[in-house]
Amino acid sequence: MFPNAVQPQKNLLPFGIPSLDEILGGGIPTGSIVLIEDEIGAEANPFILQFLAEGLKAGQYGYIMATEHPYQYFAEMLSGIGVNTDMLKATGRLKFIDAFSNPFGYTDLRSEHDLAVRNISQPRELNEIIRRAFLHVRDQNVIKRGIVSSLSSIIYAADESKKTIFSFLQNRLASNKLDGSVTLFSLHYDAHPRLLVKAMEHLSDVTIRVKKGFTKEERPLNVVQVINIKGKPELAGESVQFEFISGKIIPYYEENLF
């Protein structure tokens, strides 16, 4: 199964993980917003950061809006897959947006990063800081791979306000459609009302779910499943299994899970 790498296709941005790209039909369509849903005990961030790394290695631009972890967390994970975040930040190809250190502006704590969110419950501020991050290439035709880790923190801050959440998502969708960029939002889907999650799935171009599983030998693994890709209904339900071994994403082909 999946013996060969999926060849990149025009208007598709691959993860660089052959088996995952295959169940996605080649990758993520440009201009998309993507919902990456994880459950307690499942690991979505390695897949999300692999998507970002694949673009950075190809010469594209990227950003991380972090609400749950500091910069060093992402820097260490990206270093393990061959990305020097400090160098890319220095050259302006990777932007780190700190929405973790002081996300509500309640304390005197100051972020060490140039791009810092002072109130994550304000969609205008979130979208404006992403726009400002790339003013240096505003007249260039560049594709940006963005990750927001995680959307759940923004939902908590907004007290489940649908207006706040959908304003942020809709603006990202409109911006991405204009310039062909892609934004991946991680979401702790078992921590929110099902109707709210369903509404966000309808708005998203692609929904992927990462579930916890175990091998027959009782080793932990992650089951990555396509929930929906607009325009490709035949791909819904496709899944592939992965283990994390020494920081690497390794496909696991045994079908029997506990």
Distance CA 163, CA 253 (A): 42
Give the pLDDT confidence score for residue 164 in this predicted structure.
87
* Digit-coded pLDDT (tens) for 55-90: 999 999 999 999 999 999 999 999 999 999 999 999
Distance CA 128, CA 86 (A): 23
Q: Which residues of the chain have pLDDT under 50?
A: 1-8, 256-258
Give the pLDDT confidence score for residue 10 in this predicted structure.
64
Residues near 108 by beta carbon (within 8 Å), at least 6 away in sequence? none
Per the listing, tokens 């599983």 go with: 213
Burial 8-36 (b: 16+ CB within 10 A, else e): eeeebbbbbbbbbbbbbbbbbbbbbbbbb
Per the listing, tokens 């970002």 go with: 52
Question: Rounded to the nearest 5°, which phi and psi values hold at 177?
Answer: -60, -35
Give the pLDDT confidence score for residue 247 in this predicted structure.
78
Task: Dump strand ranges (E) for the chain.
Answer: 12-13, 28-29, 33-38, 61-66, 94-98, 115-116, 144-149, 182-188, 206-214, 220-229, 239-245, 248-252
User: Within 10 A of 184 (CB to CB), how many other CB atoms are there?
Assistant: 26
* Digit-coded pLDDT (tens) for 26-48: 999 999 999 999 999 999 999 99
